[in-house]
Amino acid sequence: MSTKPTTADGERALHLEQFVPYRINVAAVFASRALARIYGEQFGIGIPEWRVIAQLGEFGKMTSRDIGELSQMHKTKVSRAVSGLDQRGLVARSENRADRRESFVSLTAAGARIYAQIVPLALAFEQRWTEGIAPDELRTFERVLAVLTERGRLLAGTYREDGA
């Protein structure tokens, strides 16, 4: 008969392999690594650069701040990615007349071509990744993931150690 491990004070121990936030993070890391192989090998861009291209491809002209908020990347990571893509001619910056401290970023024609080439590869990856999951299970998973994402967003802004 096995007993559940406990901490020194007798509380139930954390099993990291069963801890939902950890498991979600592990799955996300594997997905990012697999996708990074696709766009890294074929297009010479990394995860941050792909996230910038993906945001601009989907939403058009944006500020770096907006890209960071949507992609959950730190502003320095976004700035480096935008600078690297700018140097490669994949994005262009334009003045934000309403706020001269920031600029707008948009895909160039070359950046739009890369986006158009990566999208089908990303969608094919998603298909392979979810292969074998029944459509109703996938819909349920997507609904649960949306709830967890929103709860995470709320908790990240309001979490205190006392749980309030």
What is the SS3 assignment for 90-114?
CEEEEECCCCCCCEEEEECHHHHHH
Reported as a single tens digit per residue, the pLDDT across 91-147 is 999 987 777 778 899 999 999 999 999 999 999 999 999 999 999 999 999 999 999
Residue range of the domain that includes 103: 17-125
Angstrom CA distances, 160 to 47, 104, 154, 157, stand at 31, 36, 12, 9
**Domain count of the fold of the chain:** 1
User: What integer is the mean pLDDT of 72-77?
Assistant: 93
Is 38 a domain residue? yes
Q: CA-based Rg of the chain, rounded to a whole angstrom?
A: 20
Is 46 a domain residue? yes
Is 103 a domain residue? yes
The CATH number given to whatever domain includes residue 60 is 1.10.10.10
- pLDDT of 1: 46
H helical segments located in 20-160: 20-43, 47-59, 64-71, 75-87, 109-129, 135-158
Q: What is the pTM of this model?
A: 0.80
